[in-house]
Chain A
Amino acid sequence: DAKTTQPNSMESNEEEPVHLPCNHSTISGTDYIHWYRQLPSQGPEYVIHGLTSNVNNRMASLAIAEDRKSSTLILHRATLRDAAVYYCILRDTNSGYALNFGKGTSLLVTP
């Protein structure tokens, strides 16, 4: 299965934009890129996903490199509530499209 690489941790100031990077150099043409986040003591929650084009929703934006070997999750204005572990995941076409979680990036947001 194609794997992803993310920094272990990042820090941001409140109300500033945050760019969370993800490398997936072995991505295949049919792999979708998913982002989930997990707030403390909660289950993961879906953030956004994409295949080739950049995507926007109410939570975030996803910028995908032209060669698809990397992507960036963009939080336009970080809040304290955005402090969480962010997971970049390539959707597994096996195992009923289960999610292959890595260790993710722990985002600290400071006032």
Chain B
Amino acid sequence: DAGITQSPRHKVTETGTPVTLRCHQTENHRYMYWYRQDPGHGLRLIHYSYGVKDTDKGEVSDGYSVSRSKTEDFLLTLESATSSQTSVYFCAIRSTATYEQYFGPGTRLTVT
């Protein structure tokens, strides 16, 4: 299995509070991605990173920010969580050699 972990795995928070999700990899891959998945839907891209300090927006980036200060960590921050951000969040990594993406186990976030 690809070395990719997410923390926390589950979180319940209140509307208006900040939340940070962490994705950690041990593969030294350049590309990292954050997706969200809502019931009955496939995954949608939030943000991605193509290197340290290099990030860009995806399809559903409003209300989210990211940071990547080290190759191995990609952080997703909800500055002020809303109920519409209740979702399962998946991190993925990709090597430039193969284009295959490897996904983490997901973080289930509930905003009450």
Contacts and interface: CB of A to CB of B under 8 A. Distances in A.
A103 B41 CA distance: 5
B42 A87 contact: yes
B97 to A, nearest CB: 12
Given A96-B31, A103-B40, A32 B99 contact: yes
Interface of B: 31, 33, 35, 40-45, 48-50, 56, 58, 90, 92, 94, 99-106
Give chain B's interface secondary structure class: strand
Contacts of B45: 95, 98-100
Contacts of A36: 101
B31 A46 contact: no
Given A43-B90, A43-B104, A43-B105, A99 B56 contact: no
B104 to A, nearest CB: 6
B99 A91 contact: yes
B36 to A, nearest CB: 11
Contacts, number: 57
Nearest to A89: B42
A46 B100 CA distance: 7
Contacts of B31: 96-97
A7 interface: no
Given A95-B56, A96-B50, 5 more contacts: A43-B105, A46-B101, A96-B49, A96-B56, A99-B45
Nearest to A36: B101
A98 B48 contact: yes
Nearest to B4: A43
A17 interface: no
A34 B50 CA distance: 21
Contact of A97 (B42, B44, B94, B103): B94
A103 B39 CA distance: 10
Contacts of B56: 95-96
